[in-house]
Amino acid sequence: MTMLSFRVDEAEAAEAQRWAEQLGVDRSELLRDALHRHLLRLASENDAKTWAEQPLDAGEQSLSAIAEWGPAEDWAGWADATG
């Protein structure tokens, strides 16, 4: 693991500490999780841009028709088959 160090406003540091205590985790864990979630959000925004710039080709779109087929059989009647 790599150590990151940065400065924050005292009020934000106190709020982070309060949340960490309320959640029962170390402040470092709280901040690692927050950074991880923020990086995932940024990556998802980039994914959306990529999809818009490079839409699926015909071969990739052909799979969507299969996804719409639904189940091959209706298994609803088997709900009471356990016994």
pLDDT tens profile 12-69? 999 999 999 999 999 999 999 999 999 999 998 888 888 888 888 888 888 777 766 7
Q: Which pLDDT score is estimated for 81?
A: 65
Q: Which pLDDT score is estimated for 56?
A: 84
* Count of helices and strands (H, E) across the chain: 3, 0
Does 83 score more than 80 pLDDT? no
Q: Which pLDDT score is estimated for 72?
A: 67
pTM for the model stands at 0.59
| For the chain, domain boundaries | 10-51
Q: Which pLDDT score is estimated for 67?
A: 67
Give the separation between CA 43 and CA 51, rounded to whole angstroms.
12
Give the separation between CA 52 and CA 54, rounded to whole angstroms.
6
